[in-house]
Structure 1
């Protein structure tokens, strides 16, 4: 079985960070979004991955090759962003007729992935949501099968959202439906959607059952990314990443502090993740994500997302600052 992870999106909702960093590589609870996904799949037994890259794709490839040298990895370039359906179709020659597991590169789900991989039938990951209009939506029949899927319906007939995890056994039918939709220019919301290809398969009598995830973390916007960071910091407890004593500094768990950081006369936490080699002095930081090689001096930050190589002096409350930024608030 091969795992396909589409990571070609530009991450427009997380700008300015995604001008210089792929969304999948944004730090989260001492790791990255992509590493959390890969580690989860490797633990379940997956050893071969196909990454669909585009915007800043060379950073994705370099990161994966350096961090996971023992995995078999393929990289497919999506030069034009035409949707998830188009992205998956580009992997056809690599996948051939193997079973596949598709996991979208901006979503973290928790569930029994071993059960998912070993299922004798195709499965779609589902989670009940309050407002499903911004997601693909699955409708169920009386036998517990998925009878219909629709991408971002204005009037949903179900509150079961597709969470971005798909186990597909009938790969030939999937690729045929993807190609057919592109040939016929069948789009939803101006893009070729994977959801539409799944609906095509359902109409051709392919059966899908639900795979209900226990948790689903949305990493596509600043607010939800910070919430996810706080949840995962508590979950991981970072036993393998002990917090060192820092001069005149109070650490309020949970926090994750990267290697080579210099912190003094500050209060850090709760719910803070700091990248490698950052310097923080005379500052208060809570409920925030701080990138690598960043310098904070005399600042008060809460609910902030700070990129790498940023230099901030002065006083602030809530910031959304990208990489390679210098700000003086004094």
Structure 2
């Protein structure tokens, strides 16, 4: 079995951060979105990965090679982004007819990964949502199987949203449906949809079971990214910062602080992730994500995301600032 992880999206909802850093590499609870997904797959026994890269793809390659030097990894370039369906389609030569786990590169969920991987049936991850119109939606029959899926329906017949995790045994039929939809120009909301290909498979008689995820961490928007960071800090029990001896500084867990940080005269936490080699002085930071190699002085930050190589000075703010930025708020 191979894991396919699409990380070619431009991450427009997380700009300015995604201008210089793929959203899959944004720090989250001491890890990155991508490392959490890879670790889940490795723990379930999957050891071969196909990364669909595009915008800032070199950073994905460099990160994976540095973090997972022994990983069997393939990289497929999606030059023209035409949707998730198109992205999966271009992996065909790498996948061949192997079973696949497809996990969208901004999707983190709590679920029994090993049980899904070892299932004798294709499976789709689902979760009940209040408004399913912004998601792919699964309709489930009385026997507990999925009998129809539709992408972002105007009038949903179900409130079970597809979370972006797909275990597919019949990969040959998947690629046949993807290619057929592409040749027909069958687009949904302007893109070639993976959901449409899955529905094509259902019409051909392929059986899909739903599996419910316990928690679905949304990493696509600033507010939900901060919520996910706070929840994951608690989940990973991120109290390792107690061992750090920072001068005249109070640490309020849960907090994750990277290696090489220099923090003085500050209050950090709760719910804060700080990248490596960041300097903070005379500041208060809570419910925020701070990138690596940044410099914060005399500032109060709450509900903020600060990119790497960033300098900030002065006053209280709620900010969303990309990499390589220097701002004096004094």
Given the alignment of the two structures, is residue 292 of structure 1 paired with residue 308 of structure 2, yes or no? no
* 1:243–1:256 contact (8 Å) kept in structure 2: no
Give, in angstroms, the shift of residue 181 of structure 1.
0.3
Alignment partner, residue 145 of structure 1 = 145
- What residue is the counterpart of 1:214 in the other structure? 214
How far did 1:65 drift? 1.0
Structure 2 distance, partners of 1:27, 1:167, is 27
Instruction: Indicate the residue corresponding to 2:263 in structure 1.
Output: 263
- CA distance in structure 1 between the partners assigned to 2:314 and 2:34 by the alignment: 33
* Other-structure match for 2:232: 232
Q: Distance in 1 between matches of 2:43 and 2:240?
A: 17
Q: Counterparts of 1:150-189 in structure 2 under 5 Å?
A: 150-189=150-189
Structure 1 moving runs of 4+ over 2 Å:
238-243
Q: CA deviation at 1:212?
A: 1.1
In structure 1, how many angstroms separate the alpha carbons of the residues matched to 2:240 and 2:161? 34
Residue aligning to 1:4: 4
CA distance in 1, matches of 2:85, 2:289: 32
In structure 2, C-alpha distance between the alignment counterparts of 1:109 and 1:7, rounded to whole Å: 17
1:203 maps to 203
The aligned length equals: 330
1:67 & 1:21 partners in 2: Cα distance?
A: 16
The CA RMSD measured in Å over matched residues stands at: 0.9
Q: Distance in 1 between the 2:279 and 2:107 partners? A: 30
Shift of 1:241: 6.0
The answer to whether the Cα contact below 8 Å between 1:24 and 1:33 also exists between their aligned partners in 2 is yes
Change (3 A) 1:218 1:100: same
- Normalized against structure 2, the TM-score is what? 0.99
Pairwise CA distance, 1:110: 1.0
CA distance in 2, matches of 1:245, 1:196: 54
Q: Deviations over 1:247-275 (max 9, x none)?
A: 01010000000000000000000000000
SS in structure 2 opposite 1:75?
A: strand
Structure 1: 5+ residue stretches without partners: none
Is the Cα–Cα contact under 8 Å of residues 241 and 251 in structure 2 kept in the other structure?
Answer: no
Q: CA deviation at 1:242?
A: 5.0
Higher mean displacement: 235-244 or 202-211: 235-244
Q: Secondary structure at the match of 2:309?
A: coil
Residue 177 of structure 1 deviates from its aligned partner by 0.2
Written as runs of structure 1 = structure 2, the 5 A alignment for 1:123-134 is 123-134=123-134
CA shift for structure 1 position 167: 0.5
Which runs of 5 or more structure 2 residues have no equivalent in the other structure? Answer: none
